[in-house]
Chain A
């Protein structure tokens, strides 16, 4: 009998060492939601980027700060919420990494990547309350 859905929440250290587990969970729950092949890969890519950004840009790799990650899934739908303890940022200042003048930059691609592969990418920032990112992806009909 297929499962109706579920969720898992983790509190992660601001350390790149957590990313292997993050990836495993993304693949596990993406598969449970019914994704495979390319779309499943895209979910894993986006989830890793989301947590990476929270560690690097949100928490500034400060090991005293944590990243909270929650995956929610149901048949045909994958959702991720990531919260960091950082000070937020100005979305309008996020540059296009595919701009010819910027394409050789060594950073700044995370948000672009998530926007390319997920259906929704939404940020909430509150003064002193960190940044929350929500991503969703729905199975496309064949």
Chain B
């Protein structure tokens, strides 16, 4: 946590496998504990597939439902490209670094 902002740092590709369940579970636990501001740091995530994108969508929806805010940091060119292809670029609030994402709250 950085103050009241929960920063979740992922590593490895997000493809819908066990790692997706882990990150969704982590977000759920943080929401249940009262956290409402989140940054997912994708510095360690070179790419995602559409199933991994679905995981991010599910997290976004869960956070929004609890009136929280989600930001993404260190989004790779390939992930950005996937957002553009699927027309989801305007859904996710992305920042080059976690510091910039923190400053944007």
Contact = CB atoms under 8 A, between A and B. Distances in A.
Q: Is B a genuine binding partner of A?
A: yes
Interface of A: 15-17, 19-20, 23, 38, 41-42, 44-45, 48-49, 52, 56, 97-98, 103-107, 109-110, 112-113, 116-117
Q: Is the interface of B mostly helix, strand, loop or mixed?
A: helix
B25 to A, nearest CB: 15
Given A23-B47, A109-B50, A113-B50, A42 B57 contact: no
A104 B61 CA distance: 8
Given A38-B81, A112-B86, A52 B17 contact: no
Q: How large is the interface on B (under 10, 10 to 19, 20 to 34, 35 or more residues)?
A: 20 to 34
Nearest to B48: A48
Q: Is the interface of A mostly helix, strand, loop or mixed?
A: helix
Given A97-B86, A106-B58, A107-B54, A41 B13 contact: no
A60 to B, nearest CB: 13
